[in-house]
């Protein structure tokens, strides 16, 4: 775990705990023992701490979290490092995060590799740094910068770290050699300790502005608010008084439901890529992608692939449509340059990999073709027929459909085993979620290729089976309907939106519908009208709104009014909803926010349990990832299935039974929910491999 490399009077201490040198119990013990030994060894004049492999250290071992803490504690190890009578230099490379950053803060000097980065990302796990970070960082870089870094959890690159005073030098060549040379130059000097420094004075306006920003960005999360209190402590009290307060906050947060949920998300994001049945199956190497359809979705998909280094051939039916698509792609890139996300050189390089075409045969040289044409089965079947004839038998063909039946589409293709769903979310170059839809005949190699593509695109790729709406849209359809049912029972759209926004959703469902356009829901309703079970509860309010031209934000009115883009409650909608509700003859009452939340969440969880029971999603964590990354579910609640476990399945079951009794067969209680609640088990018990 810890290797010592003597070099003259300097000894380099190397942390070696793959894959990311987490400061596990063994690492902490090894570090402590080594520091004790080196500090008392007269042959050693100075010490360098470095990391083996890809990164210095990613900090505290997340797999130990939530369990009884094991000795020695990291803060004590770090205090011992700082107490060393000899100078200590830390050599940061890769990502020096959390405890890895905190080790560095206790050193005499810090040197970083030019491509290294450093940060305190604990807030992303619902935590605060617990090994001195909140007390030492303000002393090193000032309280304003410290608060920004601790509350946002963002990583800073080498240049910014130097500008902020977080590091003393950026290595010009060999990091370790330069760290050893720096340590050598310090031999004989009494080590300067960060914890002994006063917190530098700060501009009160800048401090107030940063505090205000942290509060605004917190949006229900408690950890960022703790950052304010802890940096205040650092300003007001000596290090010795601040550190125990930091430690107490760390343990309080560790026990909080928010941190538990965020740790579940961290693990789920990594677990999702582990698909046992694909073990040993190699994905195909694909570097050239075809995208058909250059509308909002298609052009976003093209940009997502270009951003990830692929060559892209973008096809449209006519020159005019193609030009409009290229304008869209160009527009997205120009915006990225303007916002400073990329520079002009990168923009031109990315665009140089884009080939526009109106010829289907130009797609023959690609390895995978994604269709993102109009969401209509006849249009898609016609296109798939032509693709089948024009492309080699091995070209993977993917659809970006949100709802349509992949089995029917696969029938239109020779070699249906190369057919797969790649369901992107709009804007496709921004949204993290990718649903990979496997049809009955999809080959495992094709599925593995879909996952590998998702990884290269840096998406959270979740495998789903075929059903109407796959995982996300199927849940969405159910809970959105439940929201409309409440409109028939006395609730107003703004009350439902407010309740769900208070729960933590980025936007309420009616505001989201306005953003996406009500015509989408209307078209789907019309498509499903012929097959709708007349016994099923149905709310025709969307039809009424669309008939009145209320298509949402783009029309300036939908469920709300949009005067200069601002969302406003419309008394006309209140009247329309009330009149419709009265016409149903249902009893009218008012709803509390808690009731609204419980009904919506239970509907989501019950449908999630059905999806699991049917094998559409393999694990509860897959559903959690879909809802959090594609549907605005607050990540600090951990997704609906995690939330269900935290709430208690007996309570969810009771609510699900009430919903089923009122709203009919489509809302029947899922067998799996009943079984788990009945046997005292949890959804988490089905995330078998999640640690």
CA–CA distance, 18 with 26 (Å, rounded to integer) = 12
74 binds ligand 3HC (CB under 6 A): yes
In a 13 Å sphere around the CA of 678, the CA atoms on its Cβ side amount to 7
Please list every residue from 114 through 173 that binds ligand 3HC, using CB under 6 A.
Answer: 121-122, 125, 127, 129-131, 133
Nearest CB to ligand 3HC, comparing residues 102 and 514: 102
- Residue 423 β-bridge partners: 435
Q: Which stretch binds ligand 3HC (CB under 6 A): 58-66, 278-286, 470-478, 644-652?
A: 58-66
Nearest CB to ligand 3HC, comparing residues 270 and 651: 270
Nearest CB to ligand 3HC, comparing residues 63 and 588: 63
Catalytic member of 14, 82, 122, 607: 122
CA–CA distance, 182 with 108 (Å, rounded to integer) = 10
Phi/psi for 606 (5° steps) reads -65, -45
Nearest CB to ligand 3HC, comparing residues 42 and 68: 68
Terminal C-alpha separation, the chain: 22
CA–CA distance, 45 with 188 (Å, rounded to integer) = 7
261 binds ligand 3HC (CB under 6 A): no
Q: Cβ of residue 275: shortest distance to ligand 3HC, in angstroms?
A: 13
Q: Cβ of residue 72: shortest distance to ligand 3HC, in angstroms?
A: 12
Nearest CB to ligand 3HC, comparing residues 19 and 280: 19
CB 541 within 8 A of CB 491: no
Which of 45, 51, 59, 116: binder of ligand 3HC (CB under 6 A)? 59
| Pairing status of strand 288-292 against strand 46-51 | unpaired
Q: Cβ of residue 560: shortest distance to ligand 3HC, in angstroms?
A: 38
Nearest CB to ligand 3HC, comparing residues 125 and 604: 125
Q: Which stretch binds ligand 3HC (CB under 6 A): 14-22, 193-201, 478-486, 515-523?
A: 14-22
CB 677 within 8 A of CB 650: yes
> Is the peptide bond prior to 427 cis by the omega test (within 30 degrees of 0)?
yes
Alpha-helical regions (H) of 107-219:
133-141, 143-152, 158-164, 175-186, 204-218
Nearest CB to ligand 3HC, comparing residues 127 and 627: 127
Catalytic member of 82, 102, 178, 495: 102
CB-neighbour burial class of residue 403 (10 A; exposed 0-12, middle 13-18, buried 19+)? middle
User: b/e string for 537-550 if b means 16 or more Cβ within 10 A?
Assistant: bbbebbbebbeeeb
Q: Cβ of residue 634: shortest distance to ligand 3HC, in angstroms?
A: 19
Q: How many residues of this chain bind ligand 3HC (CB under 6 A)? A: 24
Show the tokens assigned to 577. 């909803």
15 binds ligand 3HC (CB under 6 A): no
- Nearest partner of 35 among 68, 83, 90, judged by Cα: 83
Q: Which stretch binds ligand 3HC (CB under 6 A): 53-61, 172-180, 358-366, 464-472?
A: 53-61
19 binds ligand 3HC (CB under 6 A): yes
User: b/e string for 54-88 if b means 16 or more Cβ within 10 A?
Assistant: ebbbbbbbbeeeeeeeeeebbbebbbbbbebebbb
Q: Cβ of residue 136: shortest distance to ligand 3HC, in angstroms?
A: 11
Q: Cβ of residue 125: shortest distance to ligand 3HC, in angstroms?
A: 5
Q: Cβ of residue 69: shortest distance to ligand 3HC, in angstroms?
A: 10
Q: Cβ of residue 57: shortest distance to ligand 3HC, in angstroms?
A: 8
* Catalytic residue list contains 122: yes
* Torsion (CA) 263, 266, 270, 276 in degrees, nearest 10: 40
Q: Which stretch binds ligand 3HC (CB under 6 A): 18-26, 328-336, 529-537, 578-586?
A: 18-26
Please list every residue from 264 through 283 that binds ligand 3HC, using CB under 6 A.
Answer: 270
Which of 22, 49, 302, 475: binder of ligand 3HC (CB under 6 A)? 22
Nearest CB to ligand 3HC, comparing residues 262 and 542: 262
Nearest CB to ligand 3HC, comparing residues 59 and 300: 59
Residue whose Cβ sits closest to ligand 3HC:
98
CB-neighbour burial class of residue 679 (10 A; exposed 0-12, middle 13-18, buried 19+)? exposed
Please list every residue from 92 through 111 that binds ligand 3HC, using CB under 6 A.
Answer: 95, 97-99, 102
Report CA-CA distances (Å) from 474 to 205, 331, 479, 607, 626: 48, 32, 9, 8, 11
- Nearest partner of 663 among 595, 597, 586, judged by Cα: 586
Nearest CB to ligand 3HC, comparing residues 316 and 624: 624
Q: Cβ of residue 124: shortest distance to ligand 3HC, in angstroms?
A: 6
Show the tokens assigned to 284. 């195909």
Residue given tokens 């239109």 in the structure block: 412
Which of 61, 371, 497, 645: binder of ligand 3HC (CB under 6 A)? 61
298 binds ligand 3HC (CB under 6 A): no
Neighbours of 279 (CB within 10 A): 8
Q: Cβ of residue 172: shortest distance to ligand 3HC, in angstroms?
A: 25
CA–CA distance, 316 with 298 (Å, rounded to integer) = 10
CA–CA distance, 105 with 6 (Å, rounded to integer) = 23
60 binds ligand 3HC (CB under 6 A): yes
* Catalytic residue list contains 319: no
62 binds ligand 3HC (CB under 6 A): yes
> Interface residues with ligand 3HC (CB under 6 A)?
19-20, 22, 58-63, 74, 95, 97-99, 102, 121-122, 125, 127, 129-131, 133, 270
Report, as residue numbers or ranges, the catalytic residues: 102, 122
């Amino acid at each position: 775990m810890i290797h010592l490399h003597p070099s003259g009077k300097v000894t380099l201490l190397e942390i070696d705990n793959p894959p990311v040198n987490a400061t596990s119990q063994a690492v902490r013990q090894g570090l402590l023992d080594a520091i004790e030994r080196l500090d008392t060894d007269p042959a050693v004049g100075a010490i360098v701490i470095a990391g083996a492999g890809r990164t210095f250290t990613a900090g505290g071992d997340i797999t130990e979290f939530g369990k009884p803490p094991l000795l020695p504690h990291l803060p004590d190890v770090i205090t011992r490092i700082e107490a060393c009578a000899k100078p200590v230099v830390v050599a940061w490379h890769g990502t020096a995060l959390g405890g890895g950053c905190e080790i560095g803060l206790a050193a005499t000097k810090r040197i970083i590799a030019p491509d290294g980065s450093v940060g305190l990302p604990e807030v992303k796990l619902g935590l605060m740094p617990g090994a001195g970070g909140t007390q030492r960082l303000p002393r090193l870089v000032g309280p304003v910068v410290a608060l920004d870094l601790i509350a946002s959890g963002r990583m800073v690159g080498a240049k910014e770290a130097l500008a902020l005073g977080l590091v003393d030098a950026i290595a010009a060549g060999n990091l370790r050699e330069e760290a050893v040379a720096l340590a050598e130059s310090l031999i004989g000097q009494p080590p300067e300790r960060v914890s002994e420094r006063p917190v530098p004075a700060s501009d009160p306006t800048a401090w107030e502005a940063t505090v205000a920003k942290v509060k605004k960005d917190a949006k229900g999360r408690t950890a960022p608010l703790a950052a304010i209190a802890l940096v205040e402590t650092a300003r007001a009290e000596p290090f010795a008084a601040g550190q125990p307060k930091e430690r107490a906050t760390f343990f309080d947060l560790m026990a909080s439901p928010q941190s538990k949920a965020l740790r579940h998300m961290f693990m789920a994001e990594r677990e999702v890529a582990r698909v046992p049945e694909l073990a040993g199956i190699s994905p195909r190497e694909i570097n050239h992608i075809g995208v058909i359809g250059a509308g909002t979705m298609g052009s976003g998909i093209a940009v997502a692939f270009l951003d990830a280094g692929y060559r892209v051939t973008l096809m449209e039916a006519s020159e005019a449509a193609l030009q409009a698509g290229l304008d869209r792609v160009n527009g997205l890139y120009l915006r990225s340059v303007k916002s400073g996300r990329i520079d002009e050189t990168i923009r031109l390089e990315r665009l140089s990999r884009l080939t526009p075409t109106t010829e289907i045969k130009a797609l023959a040289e690609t390895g995978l073709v994604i269709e993102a044409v109009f969401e209509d089965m006849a249009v898609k079947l016609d296109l798939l027929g032509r693709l089948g004839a024009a492309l080699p038998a091995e070209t993977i063909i993917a659809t970006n459909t949100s709802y349509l039946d992949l089995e029917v589409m696969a029938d239109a293709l020779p070699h249906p085993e190369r057919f797969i769903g790649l369901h992107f979310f709009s804007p496709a170059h921004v949204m993290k979620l990718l649903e990979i839809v496997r049809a009955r005949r999809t080959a495992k190699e094709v599925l593995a290729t879909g996952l590998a593509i998702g990884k290269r695109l840096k998406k959270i790729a979740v495998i789903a089976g075929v059903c109407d709406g796959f995982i996300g849209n199927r849940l969405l359809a159910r809970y959105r309907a439940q929201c409309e049912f409440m409109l028939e029972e006395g609730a107003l759209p703004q009350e439902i939106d407010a309740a769900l926004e208070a729960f933590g959703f980025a936007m309420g469902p009616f505001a989201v519908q306005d953003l996406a356009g009500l015509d989408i829901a209307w078209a789907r309703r019309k498509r499903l009208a012929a097959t709708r079970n007349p016994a099923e509860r149905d709310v025709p309010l969307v039809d009424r709104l669309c008939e009145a031209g209320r298509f949402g934000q783009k029309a300036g009115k939908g469920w709300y009014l949009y005067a200069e883009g601002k969302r406003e409650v419309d008394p006309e909608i209140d009247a329309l909803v009330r009149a419709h509700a009265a016409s149903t003859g249902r009893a009218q009452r008012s709803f509390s926010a808690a009731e609204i939340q419980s009904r919506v969440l239970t509907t989501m969880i019950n449908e999630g349990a059905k999806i699991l029971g049917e094998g559409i999603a393999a694990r509860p964590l897959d559903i959690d990832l879909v809802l959090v990354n594609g549907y605005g579910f607050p990540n600090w609640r951990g997704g609906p299935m995690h939330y269900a476990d935290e709430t208690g399945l007996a309570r969810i079951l009771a609510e699900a039974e009430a919903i089923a009794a009122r709203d009919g067969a489509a809302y029947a209680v899922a067998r799996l929910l009943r079984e788990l609640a009945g046997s005292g088990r949890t959804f988490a018990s089905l995330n078998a491999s999640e640690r």
